[in-house]
Amino acid sequence: MSCSFKFNIIFILHILAATPILSSPDNSSFNNFLDSAKTPEVFNWMVSIRRKIHENPELGYQEFETSEVIRSELHKLGIPYKHPVAITGVVAFVGTGFSPFVALRADMDALPMQEMVEWEHKSRVPGKMHACGHDAHVSMLLGAAKILKQHEKKIQGTVVLVFQPAEEGGGGAKKILDQGALENVTAIFGLHIDPELPIGEVASRAGPIMAGSGFFEAKISGKGGHAAIPQQSIDPILAASNVIISLQHIVSHEADPLDSQVVTIAKFQGGSAFNVIPDYVTIGGTFRAFSNQSFNQLRQRIEQVIIGQAAVHRCNATVDFLEDWEPFNPPTVNNEDLHEHFVNVAVNMLGVDKVDSAMTPFMGAEDFSFYQEVIPGYFFMLGVRNASHKQFESVLHSPYLEINEDGLSYGAALHASLAASYLLKHQQDLHGVERKTHDEL
Ligand SMILES: [Zn+2]
Ligand SMILES: [Zn+2]
C-alpha cells in the first residue's frame, strides 16, 4: 500500500509538471469554481434544493416532482433542456451548442426504506428515503449548472447535464442511452457521495472500480407431504439447502482466487408448517464480478448448479435471471485517459493529499457502467463524512444515513471543472474537423 501511495504522489507531481493546461490562462478561471460553489448564493441554494428533494423522495421512474424541481431551477437559470427523457429524466445543455460535448450525470431516485434520522428535513413519505444520496447528486449537478452558466462564454463546447431516473434498479442509464440522449458525447463523468470519506477528499481509480451485478431467482419443486413420512415426499427444502451449499463452490473453487467474485443467496422461502413438507421452495440472490467474462461464466454455472443439484435430489428447478425487471449491470470501468484528467483537476482543486487515485474497488454496482460501455466514462467518490457520526452507522442504504452538506460545494465545483477543462483540452482536437451540433440544439 505505502509503495503504491508513493508512486501515486510521484505520478501526480509528474502530471502537474507536465500538463500545460493547469497553467493555461484560459483555464485559470475554472480553478475558482470551488470558491464560486462555496458562495452563499450557490451553496445555500444547493442545500435548499437537496433538503426539498430529501423531504419528498420518489422511487425509480416515479421522480415526477423531483424532475419538476430540476426543470424549474434550470428554467430560472436560463438553461435549455429536453424532457421527458426516459420518463422522468431531464437532459440540459450549457455552452456553445457545438462540439465537443461532455456529459455530467446525476441520478434522482430514492430507496423503499423508512428514514430513521430525526431532523427538520426528514422524509415526509413513509417507507421512502434518499438513503443513497441521490438528492445530493441532483443538487450538486444543478450547482455545477449554475456555475457553468456563470462562465458560459468561456466554455469551449457543450456540457450535457444528465438527470437520470432509476439507478437503484430499472436500468435508468440504459434507457437514457436508448433514447439517443447522449449522441456525439465523447466523455461522461459521474460521482457518488461517500459518507465515510472526509469533506474535501475524493477517491477513485483507473480501470474496474465497481462490479458487474445480476440477480436470480429459482423455483425448486419436489412433492409435498407429511413431515413424519418423508419417504412419500420429494423434499425441496433439503434439495434447496444443497443447491445453496453447491453454489458457494463456484466462487471458492472454480473462480480464480485473484479475480474477485460473489454469489450470495439472500432469499429462501418455503413451507408454512412444522409438520408439512412443501411442494416447492424459492431461493434468490445476487452475483457479482469485475469482468464480463467472469460475470457470464458465473451466470452459466449458477443455472447449471441449481438445475443439476436439484436433480440429484429428484427435484425440478427453473432459474430466472430477472432481466426484464433489472437488467444486468456491467462492471464500472474507468477510462485511463479520463483518470489522468480527473487526478489533474482534483489535485489542482483539492491538493495532492486529498486525492486517493488508487482506491480499492468494491463489489457494489452502479448503472453508470451502461454509459461506460459506449462512451469513455469516469466515476469517483466524494467525501461527505460527518465527523460526529458513528462509524458504520451513517452508510449508504442505511436508514441512519446523514451527510455533511459542506460536501455539496466540492461536488458541484468538481463536476463543473471536470467538464469545462475537458472541453478546453479537446477543443484543440477539433481543429480542422467539421463541428457537430447536438440534435437537440
Ligand atoms: Zn444505492
Ligand atoms: Zn447511489
State the pTM of this model: 0.87
CA distance 430 to 297: 42
CB contact at 8 A, 86 and 172: yes
**168 CA to middle of ligand 1, Å?**
6
Closest CA to 289 of 313, 254, 262: 262
Question: How many residues would you count in the chain?
Answer: 441
Question: Separation of 164 CA from ligand 2 center, angstroms?
Answer: 12
How far apart are the CA of 168 and the centre of ligand 2, in A? Answer: 7
The shares of helix, strand and coil residues in the chain, as percent rounded to the nearest 5, are: 40, 25, 35
CA angle 61, 90, 417 (to 5 degrees): 125
* Ligand in nearest proximity to the CA of 193: 2
Q: How much is the average pLDDT of 82-109? A: 97
Higher pLDDT, 133 or 24: 133
- The pLDDT mean for the chain works out to 91
Measure CA 401 to chain center.
17
Q: From the CA of 168, which ligand is nearest?
A: 1
End-to-end Cα separation, the chain, in angstroms: 48
Measured N-to-C along each axis, helices 40-55 and 407-427 cross at an angle, to the nearest 10 degrees, of 110
259: closest CA among 291, 282, 285?
291
Residue 438 pLDDT level (bands cut at 50, 70, 90)? low
* pLDDT above 60: residue 436: no
CA distance 236 to 278: 7
Measured in whole angstroms, the distance separating CA 416 from the mean position of its chain's CA atoms is: 19
Q: What is the tens place of the pLDDT at every residue in 276-316?
A: 999 999 999 999 999 999 999 999 999 999 999 999 999 99
At 181, is the secondary structure helix, strand, or coil? coil
The helix-helix angle for 407-427 and 336-350 (nearest 10°) equals: 130
DSSP bridge partners of 104: 161, 189
Backbone φ and ψ of 305, nearest 5°: -65, -40
Name 265's Cβ contacts closer than 8 Å, sequence gap at least 6.
244, 247, 283, 284, 285
Q: State in Å: Cα 164 to ligand 1 middle.
A: 14
User: Which residues have a beta carbon within 5 Å of ligand 1, which is an ion?
Assistant: 132
Residue reference for cell 458525447:
185
Distance CA 103, CA 418 (A): 10
What is the CA(413)–ligand 2 centre distance, in A?
20
How would you class 371 by CB atoms within 10 Å of its CB: exposed for 0-12, middle for 13-18, buried for 19 or more? buried
Residue type at position 139: S
CA of 63 to the centre of ligand 2 (A): 15
Residue 1 has pLDDT above 50, yes or no: no
Domains of the chain (ranges; CATH) run: 2-209+331-430 (3.40.630.10), 212-320 (3.30.70.360)
> For 214-271, what is the HEC assignment?
EEEEEEEECECEECCCHHHCECHHHHHHHHHHHHHHHHHHHCCCCCCEEEEEEEEEEC
Q: Separation of 398 CA from ligand 1 center, angstroms? A: 10
- Per DSSP (E only), the strands in 326-399 are 332-334, 355-356, 377-383
- pLDDT of 35 over the 90 cut: yes
- Whole-number Cα distances in Å, 350 to 20, 26, 166, 426, 439: 18, 20, 31, 23, 36
Rounded to the nearest angstrom, the distance between the alpha carbon of 332 and the centre of ligand 1 is 14
Residue 144: per-residue pLDDT: 98
For residue 393, what pLDDT is reported?
72
79, HSE (Cβ side, Cα atoms, 13 Å) = 31
Of 104, 29, 34, 6, nearest to 338 (Cα)? Answer: 104
Note the ligand closest to the C-alpha atom of 107: 2
| Model pLDDT for residues 206-251, shown as the tens digit of each residue | 999 999 999 999 999 999 999 999 999 999 999 999 999 999 999 9
Burial of 423 (0-12, 13-18, 19+ CB in 10 A): buried
Strands (E), 23-179: 81-85, 89-95, 101-107, 158-164
- How far apart CA 100 and CA 184 sit, in angstroms, is 8
Question: How remote is the CA of residue 135 from the centroid of ligand 2, in Å?
Answer: 10
Nearest ligand to the CA of 396 is: 1
Amino acid identity, residue 194? D
**Cα 133 to ligand 2 centroid, rounded to whole Å:** 6
Confidence of residue 25 (pLDDT cuts 50, 70, 90): very low
Per-residue pLDDT, averaged over 19-42, amounts to 70
Q: Binding site for Mn(2+): residue ranges?
A: 132, 134, 168, 192, 397
pLDDT tens digit string along 380-418? 999 999 877 666 678 999 999 999 999 999 999 999 999
Radius of gyration of the chain (CA): 24
Binding residues: 132, 134, 168, 192, 397
